[in-house]
Amino acid sequence: MLLIYCPYCEEERPELEFRHAGEAHIARPENIAGISDEAFERYFFIRSNPKGIAYERWRHIHGCARFFNAARDTVSDRFLATYRTGEPKPRLEGEGQ
Amino acid sequence: MVEAARRTSPLEGRAFRGHGIVLAPAAPASRLSLRAAEEALPALSKALGLSLPRRPKTSAAEGGRAALWLGPDEWLVIDEQGADLPALAAGVSALHSAVDISHRNTAILVSGKRAEEVLAAGCPQDLCEARFPVGAASRTVFGKAEIVLWRTGKTVFRVECWRSFSDYVFSLLEKAARETM
Ligand SMILES: [Zn+2]
């Protein structure tokens, strides 16, 4: 079974306790009622879907219940790093770059 | 005269005793779902008479009452004497949320030398003593149900689950207990 390191539980836990929660680092527009339809589309629907390193939100839903962020290689399915919500993207080298 | 509602255990009469394993419903208890930030913890700890644990996967127990760390700002408090836990928390003015979940949950006691093995049939966590020592507590899954698992002794675990899932959890534990015999 895939093990995922939860930055709040501070240990690796089985994937069955987690749920994927979409792309990370997408800021909600501050004036969401005032933006154009095109800007709303970009914010709401358009995702980067990269081949290689993807930054994603995950939730330890059946554990501490916290959302956190993860850098995962979409080719190898390997988790390269997980970090707490609010922390900057980690600088990653090598695999998936 | 209207007869007062009588609450019965969803696991009334259920029990299993096999080679090296005993499954039994736990006695009724009062329970609190507690959410609070760091600043409120000293006052809440004092009111509840135990030190709310700050470390992941740990618990604190004091005379039949226990607080299990579930998340960075979340605890499950269990009192086996049925104390009025919300009343205790109500005396604390620091911001917190305390919800009485005494009747949402029920618990199953899993004990015996094969306890780890039987739980491993449905729980994906590493339950060996080195990784899940006595006193360890965690929200996790058992089969398709979410549970809170608490190791109260070397070969004793308490499985807290929602009342409506308890038949499923007990049945799966029993199946595992029979199959691994
Ligand atoms: Zn966690």
User: pLDDT class for A92, splitting at 50, 70, 90?
Assistant: confident
B65 close to B7: Cβ distance less than 8 angstroms: no
pTM of the predicted model as reported, rounded to 2 decimal places: 0.93
pLDDT tens digit at each of 181 positions of chain B? 567 777 788 999 999 999 899 999 999 999 999 999 999 999 999 999 999 999 999 999 999 999 999 999 999 999 999 999 999 999 999 999 999 999 999 999 999 999 999 999 999 999 999 999 999 999 999 999 999 999 999 999 999 999 999 999 999 999 999 986 5
d(CA B71, ligand 1 centre) in Å: 7
Neighbours of A65 (CB within 10 A): 16
End-to-end CA distance of chain B: give it in Å, rounded. Answer: 51
- With a CB cutoff of 8 Å and minimum separation 6, the contacts of A49 are none
A38 touches chain B (CB under 8 A): no
pLDDT higher than 60, residue A47: yes
A67 neighbourhood in chain B, CB within 8 Å: none
Confidence of residue A82 (pLDDT cuts 50, 70, 90): very high
CATH 3.40.50.11740 fits B30-100, yes or no: no
Q: How many CB atoms lie within 10 A of CB B55?
A: 9
Q: Note the ipTM here.
A: 0.92
Query: If you average pLDDT over residues A57-86, what whole number do you get?
Result: 96
At A28, give phi and psi (nearest 5°): -70, 130
Determine the pLDDT at residue B21. Answer: 97
Looking at residue B181, its pLDDT comes to: 56
Is B111 an interface residue toward A (CB < 8 Å)? no
* CA within 13 Å, CB half, A79: 20
**CA angle in degrees (0–180, nearest 5) for A28-A33-A35:** 75
Give the C-alpha separation, A86 to B73, whole Å. Answer: 17
* pLDDT confidence of residue B180: 63
Return the ∠ at Cα A93 (arms to A90 and A95), rounded to 5°.
115
Q: CA-CA distance, A80 to A93, in Å (whole number)?
A: 10
Identify all chain A residues contacting B138, using CB atoms and an 8 Å cutoff.
Answer: 9, 63
Collapsing DSSP to helix, strand or coil, A48 comes out as: coil
If you average pLDDT over residues A63-82, what whole number do you get? 96
Residue A96, pLDDT score: 47
CB neighbours of residue A22 within 10 Å: 9
Q: Where are the domains of chain B?
A: 16-27+104-179, 30-100
| B139 closest CB neighbour out of A1, A14, A62 | A62
Under an 8 A CB cutoff, do A62 and B57 touch? no
The 3-state DSSP class for residue B77 equals strand
Which of A82, A57, A94 has the alpha carbon at shortest distance from A3?
A: A82
Is it the case that residue A97 has pLDDT exceeding 50? Answer: no
| Range B16-27+104-179 classified under CATH 3.30.1360.120 | yes
